[in-house]
Structure 1
């Protein structure tokens, strides 16, 4: 599996909301380079700008300044067709799965939309097989869910359904914004395992948006630390967590002293 090719990069990305005295700079002159198959965590407290940056990478927010390149080519998202093409490769899952689905569509319709987005021309039998396969991957039974609406499912089922969609779409880049914050520890581990399996099978790049330095340490190849809209530290996950250089990174790690102690013991 090659992880050398640059998939997406950003140069001097800035996002400003409001004007004059009401102006707020949510993301401030950020540069990033993400490679194929790489797992990245963007870590920061609430209000650090990490979710705003994720929305700009996703193409849901337009950057005030700077530029994004996808596969080395400047990104162009003005037309609906351009955005649709981009979103075939770039997908996201969020901490609240219910906000990600149309509550008036049954599960079958939600999964069929994935087949349509990929432009696949399949028979009814082939569609059924694809949907059943995706549900099976996340330990759900399609036969029990296909006729249900999202509000009839549990939070854990919805999280798994989100991952089933990713399984069907085969994106090149997945942005996971606090994807496990609303589930219990057992479900959290299962969801992470599913996402890492997808990465291994599809050479998919995953960006975790999180405040959890423990999650970032255990799953990431690379960590970006974000404070007040700026990237204050970046590098190999182990180097960042076990030998933090910036005072903000040190503060984040000191907030979980027990875990930090265990990391130091395991590295000695």
Structure 2
């Protein structure tokens, strides 16, 4: 469980405000978090709760209005290109819509070669080929059948697997997974989750799931954070939050899934 793991990422009073004056909207308000190596965290809330905005702040894609994120014991710095590159080497993400994550004009081979470039590896052509082939094999894809294709020539399921193949190549310390299974069928959903959990086990990777799915959060998480209207209203172990909810919003979310076991078909 997370209590035995190294604590290495903290958020302190993170706030994100969009707009000015009467148009001002506070999407995330004074959020604190504490993530551990190898921990599986779910940030759960309905659409508009602020969970994706929080994920983008953690990822470094959105600048916080106030508050800080500490990473590896230091306040995160992302002003310089070199700082952002180093951070993104450690922190990666996969998103709900895999097609939005790739350049549609780049073939699969280029997308995977970019991972090797990001790591700064100096490899021969054969070594590069072997690395890409291994990554595709991990997600049950055949590199020889894909390398010359464009993303739009692949199915949604293949694209999600390709995103995981990138993670396999990059070995990040933290993976942010924003609704990664919502656009695939139940069979593919189970397979994708298994792949992500295998990566966690092999690399001691922290996975942060952003989801509205209470059943998913319960079955895969060590720790759950419940978000409502930009605030964390409840946090704790999966068992504490789902089986003994304290906050009315958490109780409402669980009430919407009357029988979690049946809803997720997991026993």
Bin of the TM-score, shorter chain as denominator length: over 0.9
- Residue 37 in 1 paired to residue 42 in 2? no
- Residue 93 in 1 paired to residue 104 in 2? no
Q: What corresponds to 1:111 in structure 2? A: 112
- Return closer, same or farther for 1:112/1:262 CA change in 2, 3 Å cut-off: closer
> What is the deviation of 1:198?
0.1
Distance in 1 (CA, whole Å) between partners of 2:263 and 2:215 is: 11
SS of match in other structure, 1:29: strand
Q: What corresponds to 1:177 in structure 2? A: 178
Q: What corresponds to 1:201 in structure 2? A: 202
Given that residues 40 and 221 in structure 1 are in contact (C-alpha distance below 8 angstroms), is that contact kept between their aligned partners in structure 2?
yes
SS of match in other structure, 2:160: helix
Q: What corresponds to 1:218 in structure 2? A: 219
Q: What corresponds to 1:145 in structure 2? A: 146
Distance in 1 (CA, whole Å) between partners of 2:196 and 2:7 is: 21
> What is the deviation of 1:7?
2.1
Distance in 2 (CA, whole Å) between partners of 1:24 and 1:145 is: 44
Q: Which runs of 5+ in 1 are unaligned?
A: none
Q: What corresponds to 1:161 in structure 2? A: 162
Deviation digits for residues 133-186 of structure 1 (CA, Å, limit 9, x no counterpart): 000000000000000000000000000000000000000000000000000000
Root mean square deviation of aligned Cα: 1.5
SS of match in other structure, 1:257: coil
SS of match in other structure, 2:64: coil
> What is the deviation of 1:262?
9.0
After TM superposition, the score normalised by the length of structure 2 is 0.96
Given that residues 215 and 263 in structure 2 are in contact (C-alpha distance below 8 angstroms), is that contact kept between their aligned partners in structure 1?
no
Distance in 2 (CA, whole Å) between partners of 1:99 and 1:79 is: 26
Q: What corresponds to 1:259 in structure 2? A: 260
Aligned residues: 264
After TM superposition, the score normalised by the length of structure 1 is 0.96
Given that residues 244 and 250 in structure 1 are in contact (C-alpha distance below 8 angstroms), is that contact kept between their aligned partners in structure 2?
yes
> What is the deviation of 1:259?
1.9
Deviation digits for residues 113-148 of structure 1 (CA, Å, limit 9, x no counterpart): 000001111110000000000000000000000000
Distance in 2 (CA, whole Å) between partners of 1:259 and 1:90 is: 31
Q: What corresponds to 1:75 in structure 2? A: 76
Given that residues 45 and 227 in structure 1 are in contact (C-alpha distance below 8 angstroms), is that contact kept between their aligned partners in structure 2?
yes
SS of match in other structure, 2:5: coil
